[in-house]
Structure formats: C-alpha cells, structure tokens
Structure 1
Amino acid sequence: MTRMIDIIVPVYGGYEESLRCLQSVVSNPQQTPYRLLIINDASPDPRIHEDLRQFAARHDHVELLENKENLGFVATVNRGMAFSEDNDVVLLNSDTEVANDWLDRLVAAAGRDERIGTLTPFSNNATICSFPRFCQSSAMPDQWDVASLDALFSRVNVGEVVDLPTGVGFCQYIRRVCLRETGLFDVERFGRGYGEENDFCRRAARLGWRNVLCCDVFVFHEGGVSFSHEQAERIAQSQEVLQQLHPDYHALVEKHIQQDPARLQRTRVLLEMLRTSPRKKVLHLTHHLGGGTKKHIRELSVWLTGGMDALVIRPVEGGGAMLSFGATDSAPGLFFSLPQMYPQLLELLRAAGVSRLHFHHTLGLETCLWGLPHDLQLPFDVTLHDYYFINAHPSQTDTKGRYTPDLDAQSSSYPLTVSLEEWQDNQRQLLQKAQRVIAPSAWAVREFQRYYPGLNYLVAWHPDSEKQMPWPAVENPYRGERPLRVLVLGALSPEKGADILESVAVAAHKESAPLEFHLLGYAYRPLADAVIEHGAYSEADLPRHLQELQPDLVWFTAQWPETYSYTLSEMLLAGLPIVAPDIGAFPERVRHRPLTWIEPWDSSPEQWLRWFREIRDFLAQQNRHARPWQDQPVPRGAEGFYRDSYLSEMESAGEKELPAVDDAWLGSLLLQSRQAEGRQGRLSRKERLLMHLLMLRQGRVGRLVSRLVPVNVQRKLKRKLSRKPIHELHRK
C-alpha cells in the first residue's frame, strides 16, 4: 500500500500566489494518496484567513492549521512535519505552482533507492536546481506554461536523479525515516527562514542519506514573495551559520557547481523544447561586442516571440564560439572550440531544426561558420549594422575619430591584414548569396552600393520603430529664465563625439554663455569640468533620469554616419527637441519633425557655440504647447517588415523531419564543450598586463598620461595585448 504524503504549505504573505499554489495542488489528481496541510502563520493579510477556511472546507483532503501568533517559517514547517509520525512530507512554498502527476513522480523517484532522504525538482528559480540557466533564476520560457514544461521534463528525463550536496526548500520531498533520524529543522539557528533546509540536508548526509535532484519534475517558483524585503539579509546570515555548522558546505556546493552533473538533463530539455516548438528557428550570428547589434537581436526575439525561436552564435576570443539557446544575456549556452568542433555544431543545429540563418556581423567569427548556409542547406539574411564589410572599419572614421568617406589603409585605425581587394572579395562571397541584405537606413544602402552593387538590398528600420510609431508630439520645455540645458547621451568615443562635446562646452564656459552641457553616460576619457557628467544609465532608468535632468535640447554628436541609432528612438519617444548631424540615418528618420534640426556634422566648436546661442534665443520665444509630428517618414515598401515579412518565407519546424539526438553523443558533446570552455576562460599574460595598464589609467597620473597618447595608438596597443572587449576582461 502506498504511504500517505503530507504536502505542507505554510502561508504568510502573497495572497494571489498562495491561492494559485493551493489550486494547482488540488487541480492535478495523483495516484499517490496525500493530505494538503495548509498552515496560516498569522498572516497580516485579512483576506487570507477566510479564503483559506473556505478553500479547506471545499476539499476533503485539505486540512487547515492556524497559528495563533506568527511563529516564523521554520517553526511553522516543523509544526506541519510533526503533525504525523508516519507520513513522508513534501514542503511546498506558497509561491510555487505544480502540474500533472508531479507528486507521483517524486514518490517514484524516492522509491528507486531507500537511502534517498530528500528530493528536489527542477524549477525556474532554485539555484543549483534551476532551469534553463544553472544557478540563475528566470521567468518561465516564452510560450511555455508550467504544465507543458513539466510534461516535457517527465518525458525526456524519465526516472533520472542526480545527487546534490543539498536540497532546495521551495519544493522538497523528505522521507519520514530520514526526518526521524535527522530531526526537525533547526528553529534556534534558522528561525526566520533561509538555510534551514541546507542544514537539514547536510545533517542527513552525515547519516548516510542521499539528497537528489528529481530530473523528471518541474515546479514553478516565484521566489521571495513572503519575505522579499528581508531576503538579502537573511541569506547572508544563513550562509555564515552554515559555514560554522558545516565547514565543508560551501566547498561541496562549489564542487557541484563546477561539475554541474545535471547539465545533460537540462540540455536534453532545451533541445526538445526547440524540436517540438511550432515556431521558426532562426540562428543569429554576430560579434561579441554588444551594443546596438546585440540589442537588435534581443529586440527581434521579443517582437517575434510568437513566431520565432532565436539561437545566437557569437565568437569567443581564441577561436571558439558560444551557441546560446535564446537572445538574452542569461540564455543557456554551449561553447564550441572551432574549427575542431564544427561537425558537432552542424549536427546539433540540424537536430534543433534551424530554419534560417541571419548574419548580423562577421567580426571575430571563425571562417568555418561562413560555411553554415551551404552545409545546412539553409537560406540566410545579412543585416548591415555598420560598415565593417567595406574595409573592416565599423564607423569609417580616421585616426582622429572623424568620418572619412573614402577611408584608406593609412588613415584607418583598423588596419587590414590583407589587401582591400581581397577583403572585399571575401565579403562579397557572403553578401551576394544572402537572400536579403537588410539595412536599417537608406544612407547605409547608398554607402554599400558604392562597393557592392547589385545586392538584394532592403531598407527596414528596426522593430522599435514598428512598435512605437507614430512617434509622439514634440514639446518645447525651455522657458528662457535659465541656461539652455543641452543633453548628450551614451558611451562617447571619439567617433561618437566626445571631443567635440568637450570643445564646445569649454568654449561656452570661457565665454560665460547661458548654456549647460550634460552627458548622461560616459566618455572614452575624462572630460573637462565644463561637461556635467552623470554616469552610465540603464535603459529602464532613462525616463527617471530625464525627469530629474529636465533637458531642453538633445544633441547627437556623432562624427560618423550611424546606420540607425537606438538612442535617437528613445529621444523621439521622449518628445524632446533634437539636433543631429547631417550624415547617417538621422536626416531620413527625423524628416518633417518639429523642433528638430539637422546641422553639418563637421561644424567647428565656434560654429556649434554660435548655433546653440541662436537656438536658445529661438526656443525662449516659442510657446510650450505640443507640436504634432505630421507625415512621419517610413522606409518605402518596407512598412511593418519585421512584423509581416521577416518570417514569412521561412520553413517551420513541422515541415521537416528532424534527426534524433543520440544521448551518448550529446553527453560527449557536453563534455568536450565543458573542457574546451575551461581552457578558453583564462586570461593570457598579455591580457593581465593590459588589465594592469587599465587600472593605472584610473589614477590621476594615468589619466593625464592617457590624454597625451593618441587614441589610435591606445587602440593598437590594446589590440596587440588582447582583442577581447574591456567588459569581458573585467569580468574575469
């Protein structure tokens, strides 16, 4: 006869989450007999008390206990575990959601070894039991609910368990015999919660009990609902206590993280999610420098989430590449040492059912990846995010960071290792075979047609324009009583206009002009005090910063022809007056916009200062009412391209039979990937020297010296020591 299970759910806060959790338990019938034991720990929410009583009254197998006073999480759980002397228990947080025959599978896993003391399922928020990203919490994967994802786990990981150094308390099965031998949770040391289950698991392990991950069950976990405001402090305190009680605890957890024994089970599920998805599978190939290209890929994945599953390949320093199962920074991934592991990459992409390739950049990509369209027999697109395909120089600027239309090898700070003819012949082989060469501005097409005529060019503004248009009206915030507040945004290199900003601000300060120049972001070097710097900002915080700064005019200082500019989109959305250069995407994107000026990009500081003085007087005389933007421009023939046309010609997963994935092959691939990634992650001696130089540059003397060294010399030195971006070096 199957033993009765007590499912214990302590309730304190999180009204909606608690009711959702309880409903999920009673809504999914089990073969295993169970009792749902709800314990109301004197919740401060008056709605909970009566609703829990009514819930218990409606269900025969539900029992409600009510603490007369708040006992805290650990004491409340102990009360539930002591309610029976014989039943195994499942501790279930009130912010979880279960599905299907979850309990039956936990019981079946416990029955495979009588020395299994605790079991923890997979979850989206469960540290070492987290999916899809190991040791990182996340939301539910797009287009998946708890029931469908749990069903997938039950199918691909049936009957599998993996040993753990500790269980995770959001959902933990505990065998009664183990509980009896180990004792209840330690109320004295962990009374308010966090760490009590880790202590219990280590005590149980000393008695010979196994703590395991139940690989064929998935339970959703919101995380931190009841005590979110105290979470960080409690975790810190619990870690100190655990170290005192179990000196080997952190070493065991670190060893488990390094070995990651459940990687195979997670990857199986990731692959099967792709294989069974009805959406189109697009593999995006890009560089590893982030910026607008990275944002565009992420934006595409969100904009087309109902129709596209995104995979991303980006190069890694030293000849490798990372394949990510998703477009976010937190997406799980596999490292491939190339070209050695190219055959395994091909096999994996075939098994995943990739429908199309999309090259966003080739900087740093191993040349073998250029062969993916041929080897996979798939069509592909190319997007022109910058001018790299022309001569390896993304911005077409000279050594001083200024736009040079016909840049030659001598004046470029991005020297070619081959002749210009060889370079363009190589790029032409890729571009000519692309089904679509997508440009985010007509300017970019005109530039590329000079070198690559006859390609299948298509002008399509990025999806944020499709989402936000029509753009809001423009307002004049300036009243004239104070200096005109000019705002520049972003990370300013010489190409982005750091030097011209500083020169104009210094000139204005010397002449006591009624002008203020603010930089929301940072520059490639320290700027003069005449520029009021506010530091880096996140996109989510931009509206708050604008509210605090109250700018009157936004100045785009670019010294190169930007192909799109997401920052421009943000300012169009803010409805502020704008002045922008007469090169790149700016003129075509702001055509007909009120209170918007297009000025010569190469104006001198004196010309800019004169212009700002005049525009201050002009704005001071204008009224403050909103000016609607009539006749807003759009690329001709490509309105709604990403929404309506981008996916239309792609083959869906259901239209072709995918090859099976051999488990032994997948295990071997994961082992090779892990070993190769371990060798790849170390900083070289040159990179350590570069990091030392960068640290020295932060000091006062270093900052003065760096101003004397030309930017192109600094770049060449940096590239000689390492081609990794600075942020990657800092993360090591």
Structure 2
Amino acid sequence: MCYIESDIEKCFEIDGVPIMDVMCDIIIPIYNAYEDLVLCVESVYKYTDLKTNRLVLINDNSTDPRIKEYLDSQKKENVIVIHNEVNNGFSKNINTGMSLSETNDVLLLNSDTIVTFNWLEKIKNCAYREKQIGTVTPLSNNATLCSVPNFCEENTLPEDMSLEKTAETVERVSLKKYPEISVAHGFCMYIKREVINAIGMFDAATFQRGYGEENDFCNRAIQVGYRHVMCDDTYILHTGTKSFLSKEKEEYIREHDRILRERYPQLMHANDVHVRDNPNRCVSDNLKPYFAMGENRKNILYVLQSDFKQGADDNVGGTQLHVKHLTQKMKDKYNVFVAARDRDYLNLTFYHRDKEFSWRFFIGRKPDYYTFNDARIRNAFENIILGFNIEMVHIHHLCTLSFDVVEIADELGVPVLFTLHDYFMICPSEKLLDERHIYISKENDTENVWTKYLEKEKNIYNKIDYIKIWRVKCHHILRACDKLILPNESVKEIFTSYYSDLANKMEVIEHGYEFDRKKFDNVELSDKVVWKLEDKMAYGETYKFVGWAVYQSETKYKKNEIYLEITSNNSKAIIPTSKVSREDVKDKYGREDTGFEVLVPFRYLSEDFEVRAICVTDIGCFGAVDTLHIEKKSKNSYRKRLNVAFIGGINEEKGGKVIYEIIKGSGLDVNWFLFGKVGYDKLSGLIQKNYYWFGGYSNDDLPRLMEEFDVDLVCILSIWPETYSYTLSEAILCEKPVLVSDMGALGQRMGQFCQECCLPLDNLDKRIKEAIQNLMDNPTKLDRIKEEQSQLKVRTLDDMRLDYDELYMQMALADLNSTKTADYEYLYINSELGNGNTSEMKTDVDLRRYAEITNSATYRFVQRLSRSNFIGLRIAKKIIKKLMKIKY
C-alpha cells in the first residue's frame, strides 16, 4: 500500500481512500456475561459509524440462553452474528472474525468493554500516522501497559467522574504522543490488515483459550518490522475478565508465559523491562490531576504573592497563613488551586483532599519596578485557567506578579474575588507608611506626599506622576472584580475613602484562627535521633541552649521540628525551640533544619534536670535515647517580676523602634520577652539583663510558650493600620491581656470591648510604659482587663469557611466556553518540574528556553496548527523540537 498525504482533505489516505473510509471489522468474541455484552454492544451502536465499519458478534456456545436470543435480534446490515456449535476458545473466534474479509482492518473488542465518543476514528488516525505501526491499543482503566492512572493495575473509573467525562478529559488533555508499547492488549486491539497478511492470524492451536495469543501475534509482528503503539487520546472502559475463573486464568497465564519465553526470549525480556521502567509514565502522570478533579467539584484558583508551602521563599506571613487556612478548609469541597511566586517561578499546587499535585512555571526574576503586565505570567495563568477549567479566581495579593490574571479572568468571563490584605492597591507602600515610616492617612495624602518615598524606596523618577498612574490602574483592576473582601471594617473605611464608587462591591469577612496544639503522647525513643547540645550560656537570669538534632531515617520526610524535653524531680515539660540553619550539619546528615536555640523557662532552674531532644517529623515523633544532665542555676527571680511579651515577627512597621525604646529606657522592674524574628537592627542587637529574645517559633507553639514562660501581658504595637492582626487573635486565644496601638484593625477590634487598652500612636513608648506601671501598681486591674477582653471572640476556621462557602455559592461560577484551548504539553512539562522530575526538561536553561518559545507568536501558530489535524501535529512537533534543540 502507498501512504499519501492530502493537503485538500488534510488527512492521510490509503490508496486514495480517506482513513475514515477504511473498513474495519469490530470483532467481539462472546461467552456469557449477558449484562456486559448488552452494555458493550449498545455503546458500539452509539459511538460507531456502521456504514463504513462492520460489527462481528461471535457467540462461543454460551450457556446463557439470553445470549443467542439477544444476538439474533441484532442482525442487520453490517452486523454479522455467528453462533458456534461448540466452544472454540478465544483465539479461534478471533481467527474466524479475521477470515471474514481479506481487506478489512480488524479491531478485537472484549464484550466487557464500553466504548466512548469518537473512539474508532481516533484509533484509526493513530494507526495510520506511520506505516510501521501494526497495532493500536487505547487507554483504559484495566489494560496492563495502557492502564491509567496507575500503570499495570486494575483501576476503577476516577472518583466522581462518569465514563463520558473521563473519555472527554483524556481526549482534551492528551499529550498525543502515541508512544510505543512492547505488546498490544487484546481488550481493544486495532490491527492493520497488512500485518495479518504478513504474519498470519492468531496461533489458536497453542493459545486456544486465550491469554498470550496477542503477545505471540505482537512479537511476530515486531520481528518483521512493525510497531505497537498506545492511542493516548482515547479511553475505553474495561470492567475485567468475566469468562474464566481466576484459578483457571492463573494456570493459563503460567503455561502460556512459559511458551512465549521459549519462543521470544529477547522480546519477552524487553516486555519485562517495559513493565519495570514504565517508559510511558508521562501519559498516566499527565492524567492524574485531571482525574482527581472529578466532574462535580468546582475549581477555584487562589493567587498570592508568596507560597505558604514549606521550603518556598517568603512562606511566612499573614496573607500566606490566611490562604493556607482557606485551602485546608475548602479542599474537601472544592478543587483548590494555589498559584504563588517562589523566586523565579510561579508555583501552582492543586489541593485535593489528602492529595497534592504541583506545577512550577518559569516566570523570570521579579523586576525592580512593578510590572502591570508580563507575557510570561500571562501565558502561565491563561493556561492554568483554561487547562483546569477554573470557575472562580480568588486574588489575595499581586505585589510579586502582575495584573494579568485579573484581566484574563475578565476576558474569559470567570468571576474574580479580591481579598485586600493590605493597602497595595492604594499605594506601592502597602502599609501606607512614607519614607520616614510615618502613616499617611487619606487626609494627609496630598499630591506630592509619596514623591520622596517612591524615589527612595522604589527608585521612581520624581517627575513622574506615578501615584496617579498607579491608582488609575489599580482602580481598573478592582472594578473588574466581582467582589472585594476586607478582613475588618477599618480596612473598608480606608478603601472606600479612595475608591468610593466600589463600596457596593466590598464585603467584610474576618479571618478565622485556631491553634493546632501539638500532643506528645506518643514519643518514640529512638537511637536514630542524633543530637548535640553545643553551648549552655548564661542569658540574663536563665540559660540559652544552642545545638542541633536530626532524626536519621531512610524514609524521606519534609519537616524536622525540634523540642527539648526537660525532666526534674518535680516536673516534666516539652519546650519549643527556635530554628537555626546549620550548613555544617547539612553536609553530614543532608538536612539544614537541624539547628536550634532555646531559652530555659525560669521555673526549671532551681533544681537539677535532664534534657533530651525530640524531633517531630511527618512520619512520627521521635525522642533521643540519651539525655544530658544540667545542674541547677543559682536562685532566680521567677515570678518576682511582671512578664511582658511582644509576639510575632517584629520590624519597624510592627513597632520595632517603639519596642526598643520601651525596653531600653523603661527602668521598669519587669521581664521583657520577645517571641519572633526581628527585622529591626537596634532591637536584634539589644543586650539587657531583663530582656529575653526567644527567636522564631511555630505559631502553634505559642500557647506552650506563653504557659512555660508565664507571660502576664502581651503588647502589639504596629505603627500602620493593620488589616486584621493574627497576633491579636493568638494572644486572645492564649487568654492573655493585651495592650495595642490604636490603629486600624487593632484599634477597631480591641476598642469594642476595652478602649483603655488601645493607646494612641503619638508618644506610644511612653504611654505603654505608663500603662504597664499602672498595672504593676494596681495588680487587680490586670484581671479586670482580662475579663473585659474575654468578650473579644476569635472566629474559628469553620466560621470563616462557612462565610466563604456561602459567598462562593452566590457567585455565578464560570463554565468556560472559550474557543481558546490550553497548551497541555506546556502544563505537563511544568508539572514535571513541580514534582522534581527533570527527565523531560533537563535543566533550568531548558525551562527558560521553553518559556521564551511558548510566549512567542511562532509557537502559538504552531499550537493552532497541531490542533487542526494529525499532519499538523507531526509538523508542529518537528518545528518545536528544532526551536528547543532538545528532545522532550
């Protein structure tokens, strides 16, 4: 036969006959299993053109009388029914079907299958892509080498997804690689007639009852130059073998496998290697996230400036924590996708109940100046929205990205929510602090008030009316949003003062908060915990311990949180530590999250105690077998002073300068504690006998720290109008009295119940010292304040979830009907990078080159060409490979 490409018909032809007109005999061998048969035949009628193809139904002497009656009722044009007088076995039945024509291709189809839309057309197209292709096998839930999503397993249909939706998904997202397989699978096996003419039919004499006959046929075909391929854009349901008992099946497999290995030792070894290595892993890996999405769950995209995932850059902050909480609470009902910058990449994570799927898109370094539009970022978000059928976009921050995601969603008719976590959409100074760290209210926001800030902090030329341009663009983006969410009424007031026309879009939903209190009931003592206490230094009136600890395990784990267990004659406690990076320990043990520093609470210093390290990991909680003996410290001042704490990350915006002035010059007889990282140099360098800087901590450890260090009072002294303040929620949940600066959400939340605890910003350090002295002079006042503040309730995460769930349900979630389609190969390649698999793209250089190509006009043209037809696909891949100069 000659293979001719037709520019007019845009399809392959065989001797001038279009592929779709190539006659194919669909052969279904039947032995009982009546219900399966009916479903199979009905699906063939529904999805197959029987004017250009024939259906051959061969009843192999079924014992169920319904079979003959049903088959006789099916006789019509191009439907051939054959009844065997005796049971001939699978191979003879197939040969009978093959013998009905000398020219027709054949397709073997099990009676326990259900075919899907356009199945035969796609399989034919696949078969005639190349002359050397001899057989084609589609994807299925149960087809060994062609099983998806789990290779060589008997899968079920994806949860919450119909067969029709599964097949549609496979066709839509397929990489269309049509990869080679070592052997075809007889459940649905397309065979070109020329192969039968070349090597003959099945070896029915040897493989009478089935199991191995298609392997034998395929091996013979390989030996004369044919290839077997997977049709990776077609999905057929295969419910499993119903004809033989499992014991009988095992016997046939064992005997026939022996025969095959004697006949084809090299090819059977190649098949073993194929099963071992799964060289077509990309097919199933590509499908897994789409299968997990189901059919009836809504797809929501959260967008923020930095990822909250462990190991990501800048993963700690209020916005990140809020999105993490939302994700945790929403992922059981919705398909939650989270997109966030991580250095030069856009991380995308799909959270589905207890599963996670990751993608990593190269978007380049964050520019020195804010880029309102960026081609790479736009390309990534357009593919994300289209590829995952995103039905709602919920923006949380865009300061490291661009405005493209809102514009794309607006163009595609996807509703957009925007939670305003700070004032970035009013001013590049997201906390509304000028170059002197002075708050600029709307009343003081005059024409040139931001000029010096923009010049000093953002390098904006002072002759550009930048703030005007900024607000015009931000107003345009906010106006395109369907809803603007604000965490507190004070935030709504500020935004309304700038964008009064958007007030009807604004809705206040306060954040929820909860501690995930760690329990240490099941600490397993293990000699795999290696630890060292390197230093025990005097720190004020206590000790600071410095050291490292690691749990050695062959099983990989993500987190390594270190605690110290302190045991004395009178007490036992587990103390959180502050993490310290240790490159030296990493060199030996492969982890850098092994270092720690910790202050010893006063109460344990009056007697000797034992200390051991505990490592809390993803795979368990493990304590060191060995302990260290610590001798008691001289008599200390425990409980003779008021213990005052500052909590959370502290920089100048969070009151670092004010706190420094309070501690340095107070003269108050109190113990000052600071729990959190410090970004204000004077404060981090401060050394004072009654000042104890603990360092960073895990949020969930705060109640334990408050208890162990016996904190009496918390001060939260931000100098900008906070939009919510998680630290206030934490202090309230710890049941500690709080003094706050009277600004933004701090003042609004606290002022409802205890106005005297809200102190004006002017001379704040002096006011705080006076308030603390007043509390020391009137000890009962602290209890009264605590009682008043107990009225300030912190919403639970479920309270917050219910509000957002109701809001999401009110939104007219989009059903994308865009003529645009996603580049699924682009998505897959970035999923390989996101999951640490670099076989497709060997280096970051490859990814950057790929990113450049996918943003080019040439590439977009090639993509349109590839979607037009199979010839277009071949041409497109050649062009892309030349552009990339790598094989992928």
TM-score by length of 2: 0.44
Structure 1 residues 372, 269: closer, same or farther in 2, change over 3 A? same
Q: Which residue of 2 aligns with 1:410?
A: 452
Q: Which residue of 1 aligns with 2:330?
A: 304
1:518 & 1:162 partners in 2: Cα distance?
A: 66
1:549 & 1:497 partners in 2: Cα distance?
A: 22
Structure 1 residues 120, 385: closer, same or farther in 2, change over 3 A? same
Match of 2:762 among 582, 602, 608: 602
Give the conservation status (yes or no) of the 8 Å contact 1:300–1:463.
Answer: no
What is the CA deviation profile of residues 299-320 of structure 1, one whole-angstrom value per residue up to 9, with x for unaligned ones?
A: 22233334432222223555x5
Structure 2 counterparts to residues 269-288 of structure 1, below 5 A = 269-274=288-293, 276-288=294-306
Give the conservation status (yes or no) of the 8 Å contact 2:487–2:508.
Answer: yes
Give the conservation status (yes or no) of the 8 Å contact 1:281–1:308.
Answer: yes
1:662 & 1:399 partners in 2: Cα distance?
A: 45
Shift of the alpha carbon at 1:498?
1.6
Which shows bigger deviation, 590-599 or 388-397? 590-599
Structure 2 counterparts to residues 128-207 of structure 1, below 5 A = none
1:302 & 1:517 partners in 2: Cα distance?
A: 35
Match of 1:439 among 483, 486, 489: 486
Give the conservation status (yes or no) of the 8 Å contact 1:437–1:457.
Answer: yes
Structure 2 counterparts to residues 276-425 of structure 1, below 5 A = 276-288=294-306, 289-290=314-315, 291-315=317-341, 317=343, 321-326=346-351, 332-335=358-361, 337=363, 339-340=375-376, 342-343=378-379, 345-405=381-441, 406=445, 407-411=449-453, 414-415=457-458, 417=460, 419-425=466-472
Shift of the alpha carbon at 1:416?
6.5
* Structure 2: gaps spanning 5 or more residues: 1-139, 183-252, 259-268, 307-313, 364-373, 517-636, 835-839, 849-888
Give the conservation status (yes or no) of the 8 Å contact 1:522–1:535.
Answer: yes
Shift of the alpha carbon at 1:581?
0.7
Shift of the alpha carbon at 1:271?
2.2
Shift of the alpha carbon at 1:366?
3.2
For 2:302, give the aligned amino acid: H
1:480 & 1:111 partners in 2: Cα distance?
A: 70
2:382 & 2:745 partners in 1: Cα distance?
A: 37
1:520 & 1:611 partners in 2: Cα distance?
A: 21
Q: Which residue of 2 aligns with 1:448?
A: 495
Q: Which residue of 1 aligns with 2:45?
A: none
SS at match of 1:488: strand
Structure 1 residues 342, 645: closer, same or farther in 2, change over 3 A? same
Structure 1 residues 341, 553: closer, same or farther in 2, change over 3 A? closer
For 2:468, give the aligned amino acid: E
For 1:334, give the aligned amino acid: R
Q: Which residue of 2 aligns with 1:645?
A: 806
1:660 & 1:582 partners in 2: Cα distance?
A: 51
Q: Give the paired residue count.
A: 458
SS at match of 1:494: coil
Q: Which residue of 1 aligns with 2:144?
A: 109
Q: Which residue of 2 aligns with 1:727?
A: none
1:680 & 1:495 partners in 2: Cα distance?
A: 41
1:624 & 1:605 partners in 2: Cα distance?
A: 23
Matched, 1:462 2:510: yes
What is the CA deviation profile of residues 564-615 of structure 1, one whole-angstrom value per residue up to 9, with x for unaligned ones?
A: 1112111221121011110010122224446971111232433332221112
Structure 1 residues 122, 402: closer, same or farther in 2, change over 3 A? farther
Q: Which residue of 2 aligns with 1:503?
A: 661
1:521 & 1:145 partners in 2: Cα distance?
A: 49
**Bigger radius of gyration:** 2
Structure 2 counterparts to residues 578-727 of structure 1, below 5 A = 578-593=738-753, 597-620=757-780, 627=787, 642-643=803-804, 645-651=806-812, 675=841, 678-679=844-845
2:769 & 2:789 partners in 1: Cα distance?
A: 28
1:550 & 1:357 partners in 2: Cα distance?
A: 44
Give the conservation status (yes or no) of the 8 Å contact 1:351–1:658.
Answer: no
Give the conservation status (yes or no) of the 8 Å contact 1:162–1:214.
Answer: no
What is the CA deviation profile of residues 439-476 of structure 1, one whole-angstrom value per residue up to 9, with x for unaligned ones?
A: 111221222223222103434233416999xxxxxxxx
Q: How many percent of aligned residue pairs carry the same amino acid? A: 20
1:496 & 1:302 partners in 2: Cα distance?
A: 28
2:651 & 2:143 partners in 1: Cα distance?
A: 60
Shift of the alpha carbon at 1:631?
6.3
Give the conservation status (yes or no) of the 8 Å contact 1:485–1:551.
Answer: yes
SS at match of 1:387: coil
For 2:426, give the aligned amino acid: I
1:379 & 1:432 partners in 2: Cα distance?
A: 12
Q: Give the number of the structure whose residues are more often helix, by fraction.
A: 1
Q: Which residue of 2 aligns with 1:268?
A: 287
Give the conservation status (yes or no) of the 8 Å contact 1:120–1:214.
Answer: no
For 1:648, give the aligned amino acid: M
Structure 1 residues 277, 403: closer, same or farther in 2, change over 3 A? farther
2:335 & 2:780 partners in 1: Cα distance?
A: 51
Q: Which residue of 1 aligns with 2:613?
A: none
Q: Which residue of 2 aligns with 1:210?
A: 273
Structure 2 counterparts to residues 188-267 of structure 1, below 5 A = 210=273, 212=275, 262=281, 265-267=284-286
Structure 1 residues 628, 490: closer, same or farther in 2, change over 3 A? closer
Which shows bigger deviation, 420-429 or 480-489? 480-489
Give the conservation status (yes or no) of the 8 Å contact 1:284–1:310.
Answer: yes
Structure 1 residues 261, 610: closer, same or farther in 2, change over 3 A? farther
SS at match of 1:545: helix
Shift of the alpha carbon at 1:667?
5.1
2:146 & 2:332 partners in 1: Cα distance?
A: 40
Give the conservation status (yes or no) of the 8 Å contact 2:717–2:741.
Answer: yes
2:350 & 2:746 partners in 1: Cα distance?
A: 34
1:444 & 1:676 partners in 2: Cα distance?
A: 47
Q: Which residue of 2 aligns with 1:485?
A: 643
Q: Give the number of the structure whose residues are more often strand, by fraction.
A: 2
Structure 1 residues 277, 566: closer, same or farther in 2, change over 3 A? farther
Matched, 1:429 2:454: no
Q: Which residue of 2 aligns with 1:29?
A: none
Cα root mean square deviation, aligned: 5.1
Give the conservation status (yes or no) of the 8 Å contact 1:359–1:383.
Answer: yes
Q: Which residue of 1 aligns with 2:48?
A: none
Shift of the alpha carbon at 1:343?
4.8
* Structure 1: gaps spanning 5 or more residues: 1-104, 113-117, 124-143, 164-174, 181-205, 216-259, 469-478, 683-732
Q: Which residue of 2 aligns with 1:73?
A: none
Give the conservation status (yes or no) of the 8 Å contact 1:480–1:620.
Answer: no
Give the conservation status (yes or no) of the 8 Å contact 1:122–1:214.
Answer: no
For 1:460, give the aligned amino acid: V
Give the conservation status (yes or no) of the 8 Å contact 1:387–1:393.
Answer: yes
Give the conservation status (yes or no) of the 8 Å contact 1:323–1:334.
Answer: yes
SS at match of 1:266: helix
2:741 & 2:844 partners in 1: Cα distance?
A: 46
Give the conservation status (yes or no) of the 8 Å contact 2:478–2:484.
Answer: yes
